[in-house]
Amino acid sequence: MTLRAAALAVLVIYACTLAGAIQAFFSTSTNIRENSTFTPVGTLEVLSESAFTTLVHPAFPAYGVRLKKSQFCDGAVNAYTGYIDIEARHLFFYFFESRNDPDTDDVIFWTNGGPGCSSGVGLFMELGPCRVHNAENGTVFHPESWNSNANIFFIDQPIGVGFSYADYGEYVSTTEEAAQDIAAFVAIFFSHFDKFQGRGFHMAGESYGGRYLPAFAAAVYDQNAYLVETGMPPINLSSVMIGNGMTDVPTMMLGWYEMQCTPASIPPVQDIQTCIQMKARLPRCTKWLKESCHDVFDLINCSTAMAFCQASLMEPYVALGLNNYDLSKKCEGNNHCYTVMEEILKFLNRKDVQLSIGVDVTQYESCSSTVALAFGRLQNDLLHGSTEYVAALLERDIRVLVYVGSYDWVCNWIGNEAWTLALEWSGHAEFAAQPLREWTVDGKRAGKTRSARALTFATVDGAGHMVPYDKPKESLEMVKRWIAGKPL
């Protein structure tokens, strides 16, 4: 296996029961302290630019939130940065108010994937209020940011990602563990700033976010009963938005063949002889993945099947030297194939930038191999997938949008469409019966979509893995319509 194949293998395998976990968490917090004094901060305007304000709540005694003003990136709106402190663990985040009406607009939570990749990538490369093209020149205004009509968080999670860290080497190695921290943070933030209470709350992200987000949203939803019991405002969880998600890895892997060898996106990029060899292995790959990963989960056999399919379907693609996240382009720069990510890395390692946003650590990495290892080989988190969480959320009328750039190879639209069509929920038959139809922006086709009840699937033409980066106008219009409850 080549070095690049090995690197991509780590990225895919690691990158692209909650009830018990939540019960355990609540059991440590059942001393609600109803008579404890709780004084909310009340308004973001009182926060200082020179020092952190700490937010706490007696219902979450192990958690605190440090927050400060950080006037950078988008001078037209208020910006804040801070840390979610979970005893000796610390998660870094950014928060930007809406450019439209922060007092009434919905709230979006954004996380990048990996596992182990910083949401600084989403902020400074994709959908944030500013972008970084050159580290020395700093940021430039991004007119198609998703904060055009929404307040938005960007969070470096889990521990060890980006500017997040632990005092004594602690780490989180499963999505369900990470979900507890996110749910507690959301509750504390909304309890302190009453103007956001009751707002529509949308959990969004991409790539390994397809594994994270359904579990995170389930934790937020299930936690609401506890919030009501403690006298805290429940979170108005409105939707989940999964971009090019690695929600169900076995299904995604089977799409690798079609993306290389058929005109599913662009004309076939693989030579005929290689495609014939790949197709000969496809039935065995399909059978093993179904039997060992889907029908009955068997860790050893599922891992073996995925290794076989990876070698059969991924390595031939890697040998082409194409971008793992956009099969219409050659890979450039580092293993992520985007030189702009190197500029973001340099920018966030500038001392003046770190001083401005108030970070505790001085060495920033876009993606952490340590976190990837913890989620991958140590806990096999990715093998479990999150389709069951998606189904459970849909049954509770939480809307779910699965959008995919048509040029993405690693988390392709073929695989994402397949798992949404196969998903077991009460709206399955209705959703599967819907044909794909075109959706448009300014009268021009932007992609195809299918929708029934609370579930929507959509492709974005000409976009790769990072849809807001490749198609900022179309992605913003998609989000605006989605938040407003309008069809694409």
Active site residues: 207, 408, 465
Q: How far apart, in whole angstroms, are the C-alpha atoms of residue 470 and residue 342?
A: 17
CB 483 within 8 A of CB 202: yes
For residue 80, give the nearest of 155, 17, 144 by alpha carbon: 155
For residue 234, give the nearest of 243, 224, 226, 247 by alpha carbon: 224
Q: How far apart, in whole angstroms, are the C-alpha atoms of residue 457 and residue 449?
A: 5
Cα diameter, the chain: 73
**Distance linking the first and last C-alpha atoms of the chain:** 42
Tokens of 96: 């930007």
Residues 6+ apart with CB under 8 A from 453: 394, 427, 430, 431
DSSP notation for 329-379: EE--SSTTS-HHHHHHHHHHT-HHHHHHHT-S-S---SB-HHHHHIIIIIT
Q: How far apart, in whole angstroms, are the C-alpha atoms of residue 410 and residue 245?
A: 10
Residues 6+ apart with CB under 8 A from 457: 402, 403, 404, 416, 417, 420, 449, 450, 451
Residue burial 351-360, b: 16+ Cβ < 10 Å; e: rest = eebbebbbbe
